[in-house]
């Protein structure tokens, strides 16, 4: 990094503090004494998603959020909860130091979170994610939710 004023490459840090998801640093150039601010962020490794057809594409957080939003339409799930699900998926792979994720794995992570938040949103997301081909598989998924709810009530 070089000074934006004179191009010199040595400076001292005057102040450092957290700001949102990054670190804000005030720096002073040793040569010209010009002051400037830098922001330090953690660089996440590029996560590639392996699709069902075997192709790869970069992970797109916005695409994931859009898919979740279609499942929670008119449901009591907040934007913050959706953001938490997306954060959970990203952090899951970053913490595991994985750079490739199967779309099926991502879908399962989202389904596990939606199951706890809202059963209707869970079924909606599962209907797209699992690509039901007949009504029997759809009914089986609903029965699974009902059985889980009954088990939780009996505990």
**DSSP category for residue 31:** T
pLDDT in tens, 72-92: 999 999 999 999 999 999 999
Going by pLDDT thresholds of 50, 70 and 90, the confidence category of residue 134 is: confident
Q: What is the pTM of this model?
A: 0.66
Q: What is the mean pLDDT of the chain?
A: 88
Angle ∠(134,106,22) on CA atoms, nearest 5: 150
Residue 130: is its pLDDT beyond 80?
no
pLDDT in tens, 6-57: 999 999 999 999 877 789 999 999 999 999 999 887 777 789 999 989 999 9
């Amino acid at each position: 990094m070089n000074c934006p004023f004179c191009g010199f490459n040595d400076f001292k840090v005057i102040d450092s503090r957290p700001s949102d998801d990054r670190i804000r640093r005030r720096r002073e150039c040793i040569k010209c004494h010009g002051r400037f601010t830098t922001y330090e962020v953690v660089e996440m490794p590029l996560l590639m998603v392996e699709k069902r057809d075997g192709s790869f594409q970069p992970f797109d957080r916005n695409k994931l959020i859009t898919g979740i939003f279609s499942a929670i339409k008119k449901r009591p799930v907040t934007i913050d909860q959706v953001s938490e699900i997306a954060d959970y998926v990203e952090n899951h792979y970053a913490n595991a130091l994985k750079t490739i994720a199967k779309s099926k794995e991502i879908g399962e992570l989202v389904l596990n979170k939606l199951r706890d938040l809202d059963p209707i949103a869970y079924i909606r997301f599962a209907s797209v994610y699992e690509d039901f081909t007949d009504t029997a598989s759809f009914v089986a998924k609903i029965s699974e939710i009902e059985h889980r709810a009954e088990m939780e009530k009996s505990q």
